[in-house]
Amino acid sequence: MMHNVTLADRARPDYQALFESAPVSYAVLDPELAFVAVSDAYLRDTMTVREQIIGRGIFEVFPDNPDDPDGSGTGNLRASLERVLRTRQPDTMPVQKYDIRGPDGSFQAKYWSPRNVPVLSAAGQVAYILHRVADVTELVHASEVGEELRGRQSATEREVIQRSRELAAALGEVRAANAKLAAESATDSLTVLPNRRTFSRRGEQAAQALRNSKKPYGLILLDLDNLKQINDEYGHEVGDEVLRKLGNILNSQLRNSSDMAARLGGDEFAVLCFGDINEQTLHDVAERIHTQIAKEPLATPKGLLRYAGSFGLALSMSEDPDWKTLYGRADAALREAKAAGKDRISFGRSQSKSATARLRALSVPPASSIPSSPA
């Protein structure tokens, strides 16, 4: 029978059917490590049924073999998946012995070569993990040999597994060292917030996501007012403590795990807001930060030190050519806030509009705080 396939049909392929028919063992896991989708090849290799595993956790479906107390497949796989969730980077595992239940319920010895790849959301978080496995049991069990070769094969198998474990341990040490270096290069040493490089990378990712999803995101730039005067009057150690305290406040006022607070350098901080965001909700975040700053003065030998900040806000627009355009609007708004007397919120809007910013004094600095000076 002939079927007429229109151009519209061709433009809308059935991705589920394509995925399930892939000739490779694939599974899609959610961040809770539960099955979302599996390919037909995965079902064949693992001797499972799609309807019986979708929605269940991978370690519920594939538990440890109780007859193999030395088995490490479950622990190694869990560590790899958690590493992907934490680092948002792909993770290739060495060959693993991971026994699975056959149709009769008994465990069968299996060897696998797994790779786990993160699928990131528009906000840069892990939405899914693509779990690919290759059944390499036949490569490990070359059974078409005599008894003498079988003994050699058994020794070879043990050596392969031992070398795989040694390789996994070595890779773990390398990953730990790389993670430490990455953390040091990605964070500010004083506040332990993400630094300017990490912040800029996240902003570029957000701009790309905006082009794809059309969902806006917001930016808050915050300058700690009068840091030089604080350092001059109280000392640099107190100034550093104020910066650390402000970093903690920013982190505490994030709305969700997708939002990011960062220290850009000196007295400059920033907050990126994702999800359900508009001008009012972005302004509310800035208000909460300001309110919390007022509630947390710093105790010093000279008494309580009250400090404040100036805020520049901007919301992304679909016509923004790049991430720097949004940053420019927020930066211009921040300069207006500082020029208008500091301790204020300024909202940057499109330069094509008559009003480029909305200013409102947040509060009059208390008499005990550091007095304002020109920016």
pLDDT score of 351: 46
- Catalytic residue numbers, as ranges: 267
pLDDT score of 228: 94
pLDDT score of 360: 35
pLDDT score of 67: 87
How far apart CA 224 and CA 266 sit, in angstroms, is 9
pLDDT score of 215: 81
pLDDT score of 246: 96
Note whether 153 and 142 are within 8 A (CB).
yes
How far apart CA 224 and CA 306 sit, in angstroms, is 11
Is-same-fold flag (7-186; 196-361)? Answer: no
Tens digits of pLDDT across the chain (375 residues): 445 555 555 556 788 888 899 899 999 999 999 999 999 999 999 999 999 999 999 999 999 888 888 888 888 999 999 999 998 999 999 888 899 988 888 998 888 899 999 998 877 889 999 999 998 888 776 544 444 555 555 666 666 666 666 667 766 766 666 666 555 567 888 998 999 988 988 888 888 887 777 788 999 999 999 999 999 999 999 999 999 999 999 999 998 888 999 999 999 999 999 888 899 999 999 999 999 999 999 999 999 999 999 999 999 988 888 888 999 999 999 999 999 999 999 998 754 433 333 333 333 333 344 444 433
Note whether 237 and 305 are within 8 A (CB).
no
Domain ranges across the chain = 7-186, 196-361
* ∠ CA 131-137-141, rounded to 5°: 165
How far apart CA 333 and CA 172 sit, in angstroms, is 46
- What is the pTM assigned to this prediction? 0.52
Sort 216 into a burial class: Cβ within 10 Å, 0-12 / 13-18 / 19+: buried
CATH number of 7-186: 3.30.450.20
How far apart CA 80 and CA 89 sit, in angstroms, is 10
| Nearest residue to 331 via CA among 309, 310, 308 | 310
Best CATH choice for the domain 196-361 from the list 3.40.30.10, 3.60.110.10, 3.40.47.10, 3.30.70.270: 3.30.70.270
What is the maximal distance between C-alpha atoms in the chain? 92
Query: 3-class SS at 273?
Result: strand
| Nearest residue to 266 via CA among 246, 295, 293 | 246
pLDDT score of 337: 93
Query: 3-class SS at 294?
Result: helix
